């Protein structure tokens, strides 16, 4: 498989997709066109999302074609040279993808080696489920099941912060609840500015910040770029 799973689209103070565009270009080397899934967009249109991504992908010479324009989105995925799924609301994205049969189609394609790029919600949906998203369930999908291209769960935008005066649960506490209920599953807290790249059977962390690792019965620990991540596969 060839997966590039990005925590966030935009670093603070930077332009949209500025920080990961070099890695995206390398990941999609030799590709001149991608099929884009915009369904995580909620407060702006799918067409506007397609245009926003196209404006950045112009820099790397790649044409963006959105599934929302297709009469048969599933067939469009099955015929894609490469697939890109954008961030936004994971529940909205999942609902629409399930309705159109895109989860199974993408799983088939990535297992065959079709390159995949996702950020935020687009990374969430590559996991077995969407249960470690940060998003509010604004719509109800058929289930929490996702593509299952990877065996572990991702928590994008992972934060260590616990603001002064805040008495609610931290991100870590929420993930600890998840692994208590799902003891067989690894969860990775992917901090902003970082991404995971899976090429064939090698998983690599890219970025200057460590990734936090959670599993029931294992003391929480961190890994850095260059560390062996084969235990997640």
Residues with catalytic roles: 120, 135, 157
DSSP letter, residue 77: H
Q: SS3 of 141, please?
A: coil
Which distant-in-sequence residues (6+ apart) come within 8 Å of 147 by Cβ?
103, 106, 107, 110, 125, 126, 127
The rounded distance, in Å, linking the Cα atoms of 127 and 129 is: 5
Q: Report yes or no: 115 and 2 within 8 Å, Cβ to Cβ.
A: yes
Q: Of 161, 186, 181, 182, whose CA–CA distance to 171 is shortest?
A: 161
Q: SS3 of 62, please?
A: coil
Q: Of 4, 6, 35, 36, whose CA–CA distance to 18 is shortest?
A: 6
In the block, which residue shows the tokens 């996991």?
127
In the block, which residue shows the tokens 């949209």?
16
């Amino acid at each position: 498989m060839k997966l590039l799973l990005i925590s966030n689209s935009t670093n603070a103070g930077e332009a949209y997709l500025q920080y990961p565009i070099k890695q995206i270009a390398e990941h999609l080397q030799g590709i001149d066109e991608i099929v884009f899934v915009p369904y995580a967009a909620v407060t702006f249109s799918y067409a506007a999302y397609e245009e926003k991504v196209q404006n950045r992908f112009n820099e790397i010479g790649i044409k963006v074609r959105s599934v929302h324009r297709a009469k048969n989105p599933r067939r469009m995925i099955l015929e894609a040279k490469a697939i890109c799924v954008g961030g936004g609301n994971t529940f909205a994205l999942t609902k629409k993808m399930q309705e159109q049969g895109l989860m199974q189609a993408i799983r088939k394609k990535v297992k065959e080696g079709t390159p995949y790029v996702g950020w935020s919600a687009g990374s969430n949906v590559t996991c077995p489920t969407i249960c470690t998203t940060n998003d509010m369930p604004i719509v109800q999908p058929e289930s929490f099941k996702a593509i299952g291209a990877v065996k572990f769960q991702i928590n994008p935008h992972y934060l260590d912060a616990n603001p002064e005066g805040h008495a609610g649960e931290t991100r870590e506490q929420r993930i600890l609840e998840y692994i208590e209920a799902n003891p067989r599953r690894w969860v990775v807290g992917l901090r902003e500015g970082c991404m995971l790249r899976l090429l064939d059977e090698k998983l690599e962390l890219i970025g200057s910040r460590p990734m936090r690792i959670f599993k029931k019965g294992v003391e929480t620990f961190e890994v850095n770029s260059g560390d062996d991540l084969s235990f997640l596969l």
